[in-house]
Structure 1
Amino acid sequence: MTVKAVETPGDREAFIRVPWALYRDDPAWVPPLLMERRDHLNPKKNPFFQKAEARFWLALRDGRPVGRISAQVNRAHLDRHNDATGHFGMLEAEDDAETFRALLQAAEDWLRGRGLTRIAGPFSLSINEESGLLVEGFHYPPSLMMGHARPYYAARLEELGYAKIKDLICYHYDARNDLPPAVAHVMRKAMTSQDLVIRPLDMKNYAQDLRVIRDIFNDAWSENWGFIPMSEADLQHMAKELKPIVRPQSIAIAELGGEPVAMAIGLPNVNEAIADLNGRLLPFGWAKLLWRLKVRTTKTARVPLMGVRKAYHSSLLGAALAISVIERIRESQKALGVESGELSWILEDNLPMRRMIEQFGGEAYKTYRIYARGLGS
């Protein structure tokens, strides 16, 4: 078994395709779109690389790919947290201790050589993309922009001295259920006693509304663990990625006295629509995907982003704002035929948000874990 740095286009293609061999008998796994994965790793197309350096490796057994890993020096993270921490991600490997050890060793050595003293992950490639290793909920398919894993991954990492630093919780919700009476009362009270308006995305001012969302996100999440602010380049990338699948009612913006104070984004679960395409859009995948997203619509959805400005945190009005934007998303999803969805992810120690989601009817059903260890000398 050897570990090889990804150097050529052929190496990169082999790197992307590693999961196909590892998950071929896992009914919960959803093959990602190959085109999207290529773009994700392309420095010319993913703004992550404007503020980060990354390296990729393949594990080969008798010349056959059996694992992969990435290592990242994320300058945006280091500038904000100043913790001398590098990241690993894109981790996939056969159930073999030697394979995991060799892959993590390659990532650790590379980060140590750049003066970093700690490694954390998985982040594929940043905390604002796919984060965490699945440790609970293996029999559920991953939602849009969420990862999947085999149950043995966590044990293999822990054998190498990696320890949990944070869990990320995913909640399942039934879009067909109305709000519980007590929660609905809090929302109605806020709506009637405040100059509050909940509006959809304005497609005529698409770019401006996404800047509003970025501004709320950067304020609302600024004190969260691991937070990295969304840049203008990130915003432009998000705008391009969302436009084919977003509808005006996919986004809810709460305005108080004319000022945007909260937002939520609800997206069709594209993974449901691509599950049987085996990663390919040609020759007929494009037509199937467009029909499933635009005509039939998916039965599942994901709410990947919600935020309330810091000024309203820890207040009844703040809770009402959060409920209001999430409920508006649920109502619009229900009208489109969505039956259920995922609210994700929520930090394990964000108890006010977790309690609110549970009062809303959400049920914790998946856990993703962030691991870390010191690099030493």
Structure 2
Amino acid sequence: MNSPNPVHVIPVSTAQHQEIFLDVPARVYAGDPNWVAPLRSDTIKEFSPEYPFRQYGELQQFIAVKDGEGVGRIVAMVNQRLIEREQTNVGLFGFFECINDVAIASALFKSACDWLRDRALTSVRGPINFSTQNSCFFLIDGFDSPPMVMMPYNPAYYLNFMGQDGWQKAKDAYAYHLPLDKPLSPEFEKGYNIACKSGVTFRKIRTKGDDFTQDAIAIYQLYTKAFAENWSSTPRTQDEFLEQAKSLQSLVDPDTFWIAEYNGEMIGVFMSLPDYNIALKHVNGKLNWLGILKFLWYRRQIDQGRVFAIAALPEFRRKLVPLGLIYLGLQGAVQKGKPYKQAELSWIYEDNAPSRKLIEASGGIIYKTYRIYEKLL
């Protein structure tokens, strides 16, 4: 760090700093065939003063600059909801990107940790972008293929950064690969029939107008209940959830997105999306007029999807609602005219034995591993 061209880590405080922050990933991943650039407009929105996280959280962005160019970035965050839930003064780091230089990475971590320490926090966990219901994890195994939609990706050398800087494993999670050319076990159709006989009804998500908004609100309420006890999890505000839901509204395939109801109340959901990363890979993070044209062209190549949640209220799991949802979701994916050849089910914590057992029974095989780290301040 005392070289003729020193690196400076500075807090983001100007529009110029923000541009440097946004430009860092393009430098880190230059030439990486698996990287999919995040939409620049989405990242800008996440750091606007109006973003809902600001209602209950505080953050500070940092950039590492060398010769006037960004070579790394990090964000330190205080999620007050997480602190209240865990009764622990834990801070977060996220949005980390860095060129392959341990000294620069350590300087970024130090800046983030010092900022958190100044706010009386005693430990730090990450990478977590605001909460685990948003983007989180470093990929630690499975670098040979691109990430599916809304999943993280990073260089393998990040693992060395964490080891060199004294970070410890907090928890791992898995992504499962599921080929769709093999028949599903008959137990899933049997589970669907049992759920129906118990009075549960199933339908596809509605994707138009007020009907979509009503379904999104019900999914938010169900999701918040079903995952209330998840490790390091804090519920997003309804506004946060709806903002993301509306950004995905036109991308949903209703044939692979199923809802379970009982007496008119939503009690389960099978949430999936086509893997739009296949198209987004070609837009370089910018949905301008050229990016939109490229997106529309390359979306025709999408032949896989990601299942990102299978949720059911606890009292309905005994009625085999999860099996019924998986049966319908996967049947919808392989019906005539659908392009899907494979699916990813992600992510599932390593210690979530019931979900792992269910996914493995459906034919899923672990093919990527992710990790959240932590350390004392």
Unaligned runs of 5+ in 2: 1-6
Superposition deviation, residue 43 in structure 1:
3.0
Matched, 1:153 2:158: yes
Distance 1:171 1:63, change over 3 A: same
Pairs within 5 Å for 1:221-370: 221-293=227-299, 296=300, 298-313=302-317, 315=318, 317=319, 320-335=320-335, 336-370=338-372
CA deviation after TM superposition for structure 1 residue 250, in Å:
4.4
Q: Report the residue type matching 1:205 in the other structure.
A: D
Cα drift, residue 290 of structure 1? 3.3
The alpha-carbon deviation at position 257 of structure 1 amounts to 4.2
- 2:218 is matched with which residue? 212
Contact 2:274–2:302 (8 Å) recurs in 1: yes
Q: Which moved more, 1:50-59 or 1:234-243?
A: 234-243
Distance 1:159 1:264 in 2: 40
Correspondence for 2:3: none
> Offset at 1:247?
4.0
Output the amino acid matched with 2:326.
Answer: I
Q: 2: CA distance between counterparts of 1:120 and 1:179?
A: 38
Q: Percent identity over the alignment?
A: 33
Q: Is the 8 A contact 1:219 1:310 kept in 2?
A: no
Q: Distance in 2 between matches of 1:174 and 1:198?
A: 24
The root-mean-square deviation of aligned C-alpha atoms, in Å, is: 1.8
The Cα offsets for residues 48-104 of structure 1, whole Å up to 9 and x where unpaired, read as 222211111111223322111111001121222221000001111122221111000
Contact 1:47–1:237 under 8 Å retained in 2: no
Kindly provide the amino acid, as one letter, of the partner of residue 149 in structure 1: N
Change (3 A) 1:160 1:90: same
1:7 equivalent in alignment to 2:33 = no
Mapping of residues 146-185 of structure 1, within 5 Å: 146-185=151-190
Q: How many residues align?
A: 367
Shift of 1:225: 1.0
8 Å contact 1:90–1:125 — kept in the other structure?
Answer: no
Name the SS of the counterpart of 2:348 in structure 1: strand
Q: Deviations over 1:233-269 (max 9, x none)?
A: 1232133212221243342111234432211211121
Alignment partner, residue 92 of structure 1? 97
**1:53 equivalent among 49, 58, 66:** 58
Q: Secondary structure at the match of 1:354?
A: helix
Q: Does structure 2 retain, via aligned residues, the 8 Å contact 1:217–1:306? A: no
CA distance, structure 2, for counterparts of residue 121 and residue 327 of structure 1: 35
What is the Cα deviation at residue 292 of structure 1? 4.4
> What are the within-5 Å matches in structure 2 for residues 89-128 of structure 1?
89-128=94-133
Alpha-carbon distance between aligned partners in 2 of 1:41 and 1:305, rounded to the nearest angstrom: 26
Amino acid at match of 1:228: T
Asked if 1:195 corresponds to 2:199, the answer is: yes
The 8 Å contact of residues 213 and 263 in structure 1, kept in 2 or not, is answered as yes
Deviations 1:328-370 (A, max 9, x none): 2222233431222211111110011001101101111111101
Greater CA drift, 328-337 or 11-20: 328-337
**Are 2:62 and 2:74, in contact at CA under 8 Å, matched by a contact in 1?**
yes
Distance 1:370 1:199, change over 3 A: same
CA shift, 1:212, in A, is 1.5
Kept in 1: contact 2:188–2:327 (CA 8 A): no
Which SS does the other structure have where 2:36 is aligned? coil
Q: Deviations over 1:184-240 (max 9, x none)?
A: 43333433x322211011335212111221121111111111121232212321332
**Aligned AA (1:226):** S
Partner of 2:375: 373
Give TM-score, length-normalised by structure 2.
Answer: 0.92
Structure 1 spans left out of the alignment, 5+ residues: none
Scaled by the length of structure 1, the TM-score of the pair is: 0.92
> 1:197 is matched by which residue type in structure 2?
T
The equivalent of 2:4 in structure 1 is: none
User: Residue 21 in 1 paired to residue 23 in 2?
Assistant: no
- The question of whether the paired residues in 2 share the 8 Å contact of 1:124 and 1:130 is answered with yes
Aligned to 1:140, the other structure's residue is in SS state: coil
Structure-2 separation of matches of 1:207 and 1:229: 18
For 1:222, give the aligned amino acid.
A
CA deviation profile, 1:105-138 (whole Å, cap 9, x unmatched):
0000000011110000001232111111110111
| Distance in 1 between residues matched to 2:191 and 2:250, nearest whole Å | 35
